[in-house]
Structure 1
């Protein structure tokens, strides 16, 4: 396991950049796929194929795949919060909301993560972290602007996305707290597989079999989710969480909804404007403050 640094180093910044682009672009892609593929079937397939793919990579690299038996219960809980809870609630949530709005609600995760990290991990709420949290929250509010007025029109979607964010936050803090003695690649693969199998079983009863073969765009979206959203994304996120304090990784992740909003504008023709510019300044300010060189 990597020792915990107080801010993102070069490796962490590269992981953050990859996540921001990969996961940010995935929000409009998800919207396209769930229009044709039932939600549980979609995410279950992504997790199963992605999990097997990650474990194959780990095996080819000669990494240990054996799960520590005494930590199996903890790994199941990590899979429940990070994989099952997040994916089920987020996938159904994005089906009820515009992709950009869903991304913003999903990335209220740091607002849950920071207090949980103080409670469960004993991380200190320093002035720097408090300032970064205020800036990040301000950026999310600015991005949502008058969309807040429309959230009451889709209360189910809002509930699902906020629940997804809380589930992801709990899983993130527990991953940091438990420090599972297994390499990050294998741990990521097992978490995805342990979450994907029950989701596919549930999909058989809830979603049923697809009525027709999805379009080429939906199939490409499915492939993007497997390779970028899941295989790369989950590995990079787990690695990032283990590199730095939870407050640093979670607040830094706020760059992702910026990419999500911009991607929604390009792919789904949503219209960003000056509030997005203000949000970008606030969120980038939060990332800069939390990763400044002086000790947090």
Structure 2
């Protein structure tokens, strides 16, 4: 099976591109529902190690080349540290200390860092429209996840409310979510270097195992009663998070990230809180506020701007340059007919 041929088929391409973010959004809902009955580091390990085994099993079935040489393993180790151990550890610990909506805001701020790093390392052009789209995306996910009272306090003159809100903002796990976002951003950028030495799907599987085993070790050292209180539905949620939210989602994400434009592709990360809110409403009965609905609309606008930034820039340039400055096509010079050779009609 050739993964490249699957992602290059135009009818399925939009679904393939959106799939990781749909699976991540729904996995966030599943994790939030079970994390109260278990422990954060155990959940992080469950998301990584079984998923890594599944991905490696699929890679062996597809006969994908395994890592060879110390450079390949060195890059996989760095990848495992950034996107496996640090990202999943910070994510699980932060999710246990903050709300899912606010946590999604911090996690999904990563496209900003990815866009800046990709511009610096790979020369990817953000441009005016891409920059506007990224800023609108940050505003959109902020409206989705930040508490309405905290947002409305910006327009209030009560300094006490402002101070109290900032204090609570940074004491409930938000910094952990921000660290998780930065860890995944650097891990996503590193996949370009990893893929030079090893197949990106194979690297994804190994980085999950190498990053997840230390999380299990820390869970055994610091945490207790990791699985005693988990119900059947809780194990189903963990299984969904591991298989769909990790194995399939990460396999697709890092394969596509190693091939295409990182700024355009990772801008779709703004869809994650949208899917999370939709399924939180359907499965958990959570209601969207008017500000959150506005955030959803702004998020969709940001995705359009970032992904269509080159086309928009060309249209803008075409429509704003005065006609007098536009280069006229030269009129082809007419060669006189030779009466000796040209036949008469």
Return the TM-score normalized by structure 1. Answer: 0.89
1:213 is displaced (CA, Å) by 5.0
CA distance in 1, matches of 2:166, 2:109: 15
CA distance in 1, matches of 2:233, 2:224: 22
1:192 is displaced (CA, Å) by 0.6
Confirm or deny: 8 A CA contact 1:55 1:65 kept in the other structure.
no
> Is the counterpart of residue 245 in structure 1 residue 261 in structure 2?
yes
> Structure 1 pair 195/12, CA: closer, same or farther in 2 (3 Å)?
farther
* Gap regions ≥5 residues in structure 1: none
Confirm or deny: 8 A CA contact 1:188 1:234 kept in the other structure.
yes
Confirm or deny: 8 A CA contact 1:139 1:283 kept in the other structure.
yes
> Is the counterpart of residue 72 in structure 1 residue 73 in structure 2?
yes
1:225 aligns with one of 241, 256, 262: 241
Aligned residue runs from structure 1 range 194-213, under 5 A: 194-210=210-226, 212-213=228-229
| SS of 2:54 mapped into structure 1 | helix
Residues matched between the structures, number: 292
Any idea what the Cα deviations from partners look like across 1:195-245, whole Å, max 9, x if unmatched?
A: 111111121101135362511121011110111011101101102212322
1:81 is displaced (CA, Å) by 1.0
| SS of 2:126 mapped into structure 1 | coil
> Structure 1 pair 242/267, CA: closer, same or farther in 2 (3 Å)?
same
> Is the counterpart of residue 273 in structure 1 residue 302 in structure 2?
no
> Structure 1 pair 153/147, CA: closer, same or farther in 2 (3 Å)?
farther
> Structure 1 pair 83/105, CA: closer, same or farther in 2 (3 Å)?
same
CA distance in 2, matches of 1:183, 1:211: 35
> Is the counterpart of residue 17 in structure 1 residue 32 in structure 2?
no
The farther-off stretch of 109-118 and 81-90 is 109-118
Confirm or deny: 8 A CA contact 1:121 1:173 kept in the other structure.
no
1:135 is displaced (CA, Å) by 2.0
CA distance in 2, matches of 1:214, 1:152: 33
Aligned residue runs from structure 1 range 85-124, under 5 A: 85-124=86-125
> Structure 1 pair 2/113, CA: closer, same or farther in 2 (3 Å)?
farther
Match of 1:214 in 2: 230
| SS of 2:168 mapped into structure 1 | coil
Match of 2:311 in 1: 294
Match of 1:283 in 2: 299
Match of 1:153 in 2: 168
Confirm or deny: 8 A CA contact 1:100 1:264 kept in the other structure.
no
* Gap regions ≥5 residues in structure 2: 151-164, 314-345
Larger Rg: 2
Aligned residue runs from structure 1 range 133-152, under 5 A: 133-147=134-148, 149=150, 152=167
1:181 is displaced (CA, Å) by 3.2
> Structure 1 pair 106/9, CA: closer, same or farther in 2 (3 Å)?
farther
The farther-off stretch of 111-120 and 254-263 is 111-120
> Structure 1 pair 35/146, CA: closer, same or farther in 2 (3 Å)?
closer
Q: Where in structure 1 do 4 or more consecutive aligned residues deviate above 4 Å? A: 8-12
Any idea what the Cα deviations from partners look like across 1:265-295, whole Å, max 9, x if unmatched?
A: 2333322032233222222122222222739
Match of 2:331 in 1: none
1:162 aligns with one of 178, 202, 205: 178
CA distance in 1, matches of 2:30, 2:13: 25
| SS of 1:166 mapped into structure 2 | helix
> Structure 1 pair 127/177, CA: closer, same or farther in 2 (3 Å)?
farther
Match of 2:191 in 1: 175
| SS of 2:311 mapped into structure 1 | coil
Return the TM-score normalized by structure 2. Answer: 0.77
